[in-house]
Amino acid sequence: MKRSDLNKQLNDHLATLFDEPKRSDISNRLTKLIDAQEQQQVPQAAAINEKNMYLITYGDSIQSPGQKPLQALRAMLDETVADIITDVHLLPMFPYTSDDGFSVTDYLQINPELGDWPDIDDLAGNYRLMYDFVANHMSESSDWFQQFLQGKPGFEQAFVEKEAGFDATNVVRPRTSPLFHTYGATEKQVWSTFSKDQVDVNIQDPAMFIRLTETLLTYITRGATSIRLDAIGFLWKESGTTCIHLSQTHTVIQIWRLLTDYFAPNTQIITETNVPHKENISYFGDGTNEAHQVYQFPLPPLTLHAFTTHDATHLKNWAKTITPMSQTATYFNFLASHDGIGMRPTEGILTDTDREKLAEKVVQNGGQISYKNNPDGSKSIYELNINYSDALRNTGESDELAIQKMLAAHHILFSVMGVPAIYYHSLFGSRNDKEAAETSGIPRRINREKLDLATLQSELETNPYRRAIFTGLKKLAQVRQGETAFNPYQPQEVIPSDSRIFALKRGDVYCYTNVSDQAITIETAGTKNLLTGEQISAGKCDLPPYGYVWVK
């Protein structure tokens, strides 16, 4: 793209967001920012393909005495998963005050408890890195917010204050805490969508718009090949609206996509919007102008539902709606993450009764439930807080069946269209950390345990549960990465099958997963079992309880 074309498109977008003189102010600032960025050496990433696989982890998820956590993470990656993991999603690696990293105090510094920028550079030398950009809010202790409270020049409008006459009755948010909190000696009332320590930035302020855009460009310059836009749906506030998914938010993403494609064409913008499916995929825009990837939020709860009920019908019906967006847009697929299993994405797919049954099972298996407030004053299930391996277990199932079920669930993850991402606790066969959730009072910590590197390496050899899940997932990953049928943009076709079988066709590969505890014989047009190398005889294949196969 020519610079002149970039400028025209940016100005067209700005015209839909701002009136004069604010529009000219931002345009002038943006021109200077782009001029400065053009003087930088910006790393260029290769296009993604079937070999790309993300590991989701915190910078301090792996601990080792005498090493900075980022160095311990690098050692773990090199020694255990370098043959399958290409991309590492580093959850917020910046200084913070709460929410395990999502109340950032400085977007451009590395948390000294993790390491420093040279440690990030070292990781980037061997792995593609995904940075978290918590663009919607910052810590109340951040320098930017403190300057706002003091009325310092350039920060007078940097955060969103409560306005007289602003109608917030329809605001949708995933928390039950107050929407506004009071701060500072002047008792400013400021939006806090998520918590008192997470104050919402004001993207409508020219200075803040440029600061956030500069942060994005800095991440690209500092080696990010993917940038996750955390909680991005809440970015723009408008009186009388839900203040989520507003058209202005989409326009801001389009501006950031333009800049990303201009400076680093294969760097991925990934939107995180834990909402119903139709709302979620709206962040693809027209397929070329917003997110390169969107989080596939229905996949975790629908997969859990299939293995809980031994019926893949809901999962299959939803999968039929997953279609290619473009040759530059696809899905970020996952089953577990640092957060719980979001239930809002199942709205319109599962019934309230279905969700309640999953919640009951999670509580029985040692997990907890988080709720959200609704505009009518009621509450509904927001997410299930539990380790995914424990969530999958049905009453009375042995460790052997639980292991097989975990591998089968990930066989689905690896089969569907898009790019797979594995949470580190899933890859290493971890279990609930109930003590951390109970002592901290933070339900999500049930699945955020920090692991000692030496202990982990030992247990991957000696702990049967860890070892079986880890080696099984590695084998699945290695086979998948050798098949071009699993290119992220390759369409998927749901194959008619028994309700207990989740069946897809990706290119020349047939994917079958048994979600039940019964042995089932399937018929297939393929002739070779990719997982064993054996030939399929008479077009039939036996799947044991929670069995799976790729057939070519």
Q: Among all residues, which ones are annotated catalytic?
A: 230
DSSP per-residue codes, 285-315:
TTTTSS-SEEE-TTHHHHHHHHHHHT--HHH
Residue 511: alpha-carbon gap to chain centroid: 24
Task: Tell me the H-state helices in 117-224.
Answer: 117-124, 143-149, 206-221
Dihedrals phi, psi of 287, to nearest 5 degrees? 95, -10
Q: Please, is 230 exposed, middle or buried when counting C-beta atoms within 10 Å of its C-beta (0-12, 13-18, 19+)? A: buried
Rounded Cα gap, residues 270 and 100, in angstroms: 20
Q: Residue 221 is encoded by which pair of tokens? A: 């310059």
Rounded Cα gap, residues 348 and 356, in angstroms: 15
CA atoms lying within 13 Å on the CB side of residue 469: 26
Hey, how many other C-beta atoms are within 10 angstroms of the C-beta on 28? Answer: 12
180-189 contact pairs (CB < 8 A, 24+): 183/140, 183/145, 183/149, 184/149, 184/150, 185/149, 186/149, 186/151, 188/148, 188/149, 188/161, 189/161, 189/162
Taking Cα atoms as reference points, which of 64, 222, 232 lies closest to residue 133?
232
Rounded Cα gap, residues 100 and 491, in angstroms: 37
Taking Cα atoms as reference points, which of 58, 57, 79 lies closest to residue 458?
79
Preceding omega of 21 cis (within 30 degrees of 0): yes
CA atoms lying within 13 Å on the CB side of residue 11: 12
63 touches 57 (CB < 8 A): no
Q: Are strands 224-229 and 268-271 parallel, antiparallel or unpaired?
A: parallel
The SS3 call for residue 45 is: coil
- Collect all residues with Cβ–Cβ distance below 8 Å to 411 and sequence separation of at least 6: 476, 511, 513, 548
- Give residue 181's identity as a one-letter amino acid code: H
Across the strands, what pairs with 380?
Answer: 372
Tokens 């940038």 correspond to: 227
Q: How far is CA 204 from CA 193, 255, 324, in A?
A: 16, 14, 33
- Give residue 536's identity as a one-letter amino acid code: I
